[in-house]
Amino acid sequence: MIEFSNGARVEFLTGSGALGYDGRGWWWEYPLRWLGILNPQEFTIVVKTLTLRPRKGNLRWYAPWRCVRLIPGGVVNAVGLTNPGIDWWIRVCYPRMQRMGLQTVVSVFPENEEEARAFAQKLRPLNLAAIELNASCPNVEHCEVDVVNHVRVIACALQEAGHPLIVKVGYDQPYVAIAQSLEGVAEAIHAINAVPWHLVFGAKPSPLARLGGGGVSGEPIRPFVREAIRRLRDSTRLPVIAGGGIYTLQDLHELWELGARAFSIGTLFLRAPWEPNRLVRAWRAYQVDETPSPTVTNSAGKQSNG
Ligand SMILES: Cc1cc2nc3c(=O)[nH]c(=O)nc-3n(C[C@H](O)[C@H](O)[C@H](O)COP(=O)(O)O)c2cc1C
């Protein structure tokens, strides 16, 4: 459990993109939600990443398989930040999420400082648990010059929104240096985003080769996540949210032992949408059976029992 400076407590988050833009999930998941098997209320909902203006990306509703493919144990995607833009989300999705009483984190992708300020202005009046800066989408071009400084400048501009800030990093980035530069700016670091295909599978051809290879999530990235959490825990005081291939109680336990204090679940919603809520309940039951967990301190100096 991580407690933010605004009092919001997060323990289980949906990976951005897992339950769409408003926490209701994708259309094929609706029946599970109606039956109560998939219950978004048990999660902090991180909405699919939004850009300042609508962005076409690669996803077409009539042919999602063009940029999302199942692979053994996981998924490879090259969605490329397809989204209808922040204004649409504020108008259509935000009121619905408020009505549903969902604890909400908005994931954003500003191209530069100016865009980050524009986001901050739009998000300031809203009731949010946090803003998540997606600093690590594997399917868009990144500023390669000085990524640490670039992320910090954007994070500082987003702070003007007055909401706690989570920064989501990628395995292919200098994530330790990014996290260290964000102490006092962000309230949590989220590791990791989908991992570029070539880092996981080397020269093996990706089914999405024509879209640059795509980003891998699910089981194949488990070792990458563990390495990232260990390195972050050893080098920063920021609370760490772990995500990537979380499918089982064993995954949660290992990541907890490595120092993660909150968890995000993405691909499991796509592969087995009836599982995530069962996993949350299993973890809670498991914790009740265990001795009290250690106290953790977040960057805002608040303490919470995990
Ligand atoms: C189809 C798909 C779409 C995704 N869209 C986003 C996104 O918009 N923003 C983002 O930060 N991460 C996105 N992700 C990455 C997930 O949120 C998550 O960080 C990653 O898949 C690793 O976690 P997992 O193995 O539990 O899925 C997406 C993943 C998939 C499979």
The span from the CA of 151 to the CA of 135, in Å, is 7
How do the domains of the chain map onto residue ranges? 2-305
Ligand 1 centre and the CA of 237: distance in Å? Answer: 25
Q: Does residue 245's CB lie within 6 angstroms of at least one atom of ligand 1?
A: yes
Q: Does residue 214's CB lie within 6 angstroms of at least one atom of ligand 1?
A: no
Ligand 1 centre and the CA of 48: distance in Å? Answer: 8
Per DSSP, what are the bridge partners of residue 130? Answer: 105
The predicted model scores a pTM of 0.93
Q: Ligand 1: which of 241, 267, 280 to mutate, judged by most atoms within 8 Å of the beta carbon? A: 267
**132 Cα nearest atom in ligand 1:** 11
Q: Which has the closest alpha carbon to 156: 142, 145, 146, 167?
A: 167
Q: Does residue 266's CB lie within 6 angstroms of at least one atom of ligand 1?
A: yes
2-305 adopts what CATH topology?
Answer: TIM Barrel (3.20.20)
Q: Does residue 243's CB lie within 6 angstroms of at least one atom of ligand 1?
A: yes
pLDDT of 253-299, one tens digit each? 999 999 999 999 999 999 999 999 999 999 999 887 775 554 444 44
pLDDT of 168-218, one tens digit each? 999 999 999 999 999 999 999 999 999 999 999 999 999 999 999 999 999
In 3-state terms, the chain is what percent helix, strand and coil (to 5)? 40, 20, 40
Ligand 1 centre and the CA of 299: distance in Å? Answer: 25
Q: Label the pairing between strands 195-196 and 188-191.
A: unpaired
Q: Does residue 107's CB lie within 6 angstroms of at least one atom of ligand 1?
A: yes
Q: Does residue 206's CB lie within 6 angstroms of at least one atom of ligand 1?
A: no
Q: Does residue 168's CB lie within 6 angstroms of at least one atom of ligand 1?
A: yes
Q: Give percent above pLDDT 90 in the chain.
A: 86
Instruction: Sort residue 245 into left (φ over 0), alpha (ψ -120 to 50) or beta.
Output: left
Q: For the residues of 217-229, what is the DSSP string, one character each?
A: EEGGGHHHHHHHH
pLDDT of 134-163, one tens digit each? 998 666 666 566 899 999 999 999 999 999
Contact 46, 164 (CB under 8 A): no
Confidence (pLDDT) at 62:
82
* Cα dihedral sign, 216-168-277-126: negative
The span from the CA of 303 to the CA of 117, in Å, is 30
Ligand 1 centre and the CA of 288: distance in Å? Answer: 30
